[in-house]
């Protein structure tokens, strides 16, 4: 049996039953949970209550799912203003866990879980792993960071609940990661896609061919990555790469997860109610139209989030999926509205550069965008690693590649960058989320 063929009889899995609910039943469940959640937040979170009252709203006004649009939005600024515990809806004696997300500036945001919230999180993480074909008997190397970041413990609890064997290795020490992958006969790995690329490179250097190992699946998320990156990872490692989405404010990883069809993450809608809105007007987008994802927790007790503006850009689809799940799917999130760089008035997202680079043979998926300002004008340099063979090529060969990359970026973005080819492994690697942009214009 190849490592990608499905087990003959999939084990009976009651945990994933809500993934297959008829839509009408799912909507009923969502409405009942939404009503409870709004009442809970109204009675226990002062800033939410005052915003509802300003609009003349009371919890009883939520009579249908469409009424959600009458409720106020919230965003990261509310969490910052409430730092550290201002948005908690239960006394500390009921809170069993705190996590925090560092963000790039200022204070972190703090999130809280009751015992029941941890159970819900474990449930959605377990369903996430089932969705991509993992089961009891799998050996899961969990290379997401353990600590205040939600990745490590989120994946850990989910994998244990599944009955898989978890290796809580956390991020970093890549040589040891590769030794463990090989010696412990690991079948699935959880980490950021950029960190897995680093593992692929290091394994090659150590003479370990990942394709020869039992490793068959990667549960990759926590940062934007493109379809071309998925293809690269799959080609170079022989595994299947699945996209997992989540954010600390809502629960952590496990808000949405891809199934074996790899056709965009399914949202665990029984616990998280999704909307996609036009960022500028706040009005709902039609199905399939890209906009900002807004999420409402339908069961979070310690810290309910009602209409949380994620800044993540995606589109929602209710088109049936071949896996039979009735949960709606989101288009993979390749950008955030606040990741947008403006260069000479042109709007650009790092993922557009990634797509353009990976179209060109000889370029490696390791890159960094450096922005500077010279004589008042914005300059963009894209540093991209190339294979050792290419790097040792003739000057002419290098210049040709540089020209192809410049053209590809120009065609995709409308901007002509300076492309600098750099040696393999010269761009700093991250054990967690990759840093793609260095903006020196503000300094």
Nearer to ligand DLL, 182 or 329 (CB): 329
Q: How far is the CB of 440 from ligand DLL (least distance, A)?
A: 23
When CB distances to ligand DLL are compared, the closest residue is 221
Choosing from 139, 247, 343, 358, the residue that interacts with ligand DLL (CB under 6 A) is 247
Contacts of 328 (CB under 8 A, 6+ apart): 266, 267, 269, 274, 316, 317, 318
CB-CB contact of 265 with 256 (8 Å): yes
Tokens of 335: 């950008």
Collapsing DSSP states into helix, strand and coil, what is residue 317?
Answer: strand
Strand partners, 240: 217
Choices 13-21, 44-52, 218-226, 406-414; region in contact with ligand DLL by CB under 6 A = 218-226
For 79, residues 6+ apart whose C-beta sits below 8 A from its C-beta are 87, 109, 110, 249
* Residue 264 near ligand DLL by CB under 6 A: no
Interface of this chain with ligand DLL, residues 25 to 84, rule: CB under 6 A: none
Closest contact distance (angstroms) between CB of 202 and ligand DLL is 21
Q: Which two tokens stand for residue 121?
A: 């999180």
> Which residues have C-beta within 8 Å of that of residue 228, sequence separation ≥ 6?
354, 355, 358, 359
Site string for ligand DLL, 128-147 (x = CB under 6 A): ----------------x---
Q: Which of 333, 384, 409, 434 binds ligand DLL (CB under 6 A)?
A: 333
Strand order in the sheet with 139-142: 165-167, 139-142, 188-191, 217-221, 240-247, 252-257, 266-267, 329-330, 316-317
Helix (H, G, I), strand (E, B) or coil at 121: helix
Interaction of residue 285 with ligand DLL, rule CB under 6 A: no
| Closer to ligand DLL by Cβ: residue 99 or 182 | 99
CB of 150 to ligand DLL, least distance (A): 5
User: Which segment (24-32, 231-239, 244-252, 388-396) binds ligand DLL by CB under 6 A?
Assistant: 244-252
Count of alpha carbons within 13 Å of 109, Cβ hemisphere only?
22
Instruction: Please confirm whether the linkage preceding 355 is cis (ω < 30° from 0).
Output: no
Residue 42 vs 195, nearer CB to ligand DLL: 195
Residue 435 contacts ligand DLL per CB under 6 A = no
Question: Is 253 a binder of ligand DLL (CB under 6 A)?
Answer: yes
Of 221, 274, 304, 365, which one interacts with ligand DLL (CB under 6 A)?
221
Among positions 142, 150, 297, 299, the unique one binding ligand DLL when judged by CB under 6 A: 150
| Binding residues for ligand DLL (CB under 6 A) | 101, 144, 150-151, 221-224, 243-248, 252-253, 310, 312, 333, 336
């Amino acid at each position: 049996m190849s490592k990608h063929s499905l087990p003959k009889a999939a084990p009976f899995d009651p945990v994933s039953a809500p993934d297959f609910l008829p839509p009408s039943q799912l909507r009923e469940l969502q409405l009942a949970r939404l009503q409870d959640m709004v009442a809970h937040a109204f009675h226990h979170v002062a800033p939410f209550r005052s915003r509802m009252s300003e609009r003349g709203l009371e919890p009883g006004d939520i009579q249908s799912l469409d009424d959600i649009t009458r409720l106020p939005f919230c965003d990261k600024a509310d969490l910052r203003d409430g730092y550290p515990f201002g948005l908690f809806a239960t006394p500390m004696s009921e809170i069993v866990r705190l996590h925090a997300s560092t963000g790039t500036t200022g204070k972190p945001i703090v999130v809280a879980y009751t015992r029941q919230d941890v159970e819900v999180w474990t449930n959605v993480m377990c369903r996430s792993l089932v969705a991509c074909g993992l089961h009891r008997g799998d050996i899961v190397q969990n290379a997401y960071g353990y600590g205040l970041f939600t990745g490590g413990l989120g994946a850990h609890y989910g994998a244990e609940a599944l009955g898989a064997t978890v290796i809580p290795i956390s991020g970093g020490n890549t040589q040891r990661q590769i030794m463990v992958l090989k010696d412990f006969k690991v079948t699935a790995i959880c980490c950021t896609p950029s960190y897995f690329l680093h593992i692929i490179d290091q394994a090659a250097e150590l003479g370990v061919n990942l394709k020869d190992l039992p490793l068959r699946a990667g549960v990759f998320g926590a940062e934007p990555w493109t379809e071309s990156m998925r293809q690269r990872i799959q080609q170079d490692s022989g595994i299947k790469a699945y996209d997992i989405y989540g954010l600390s404010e809502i629960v952590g990883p496990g808000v949405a997860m891809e199934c074996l069809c790899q056709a965009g993450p399914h949202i665990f809608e029984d616990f998280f109610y999704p909307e996609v809105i036009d960022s500028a007007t706040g009005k709902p987008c039609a199905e399939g139209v890209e906009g900002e994802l807004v999420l409402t927790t339908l069961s979070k007790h310690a810290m309910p989030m009602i209409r949380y503006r994620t800044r993540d850009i995606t589109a929602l689809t209710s088109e049936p999926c071949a896996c039979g799940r009735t949960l709606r799917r989101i288009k993979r999130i390749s950008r955030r509205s606040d990741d947008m760089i403006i260069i000479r008035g042109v709007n650009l997202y790092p993922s557009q550069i990634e797509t353009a680079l990976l179209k060109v043979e000889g370029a490696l998926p390791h890159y960094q965008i450096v922005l500077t300002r010279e004589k008042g004008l914005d300059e963009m340099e894209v540093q991209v690693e190339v294979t050792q063979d290419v790097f040792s090529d003739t000057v002419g060969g290098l210049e040709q590649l540089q020209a192809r990359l410049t053209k590809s970026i120009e065609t995709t973005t409308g901007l002509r960058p300076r492309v600098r080819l750099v040696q393999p492994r010269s761009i700093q690697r991250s054990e967690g989320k990759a840093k793609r942009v260095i903006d020196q214009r503000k300094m």
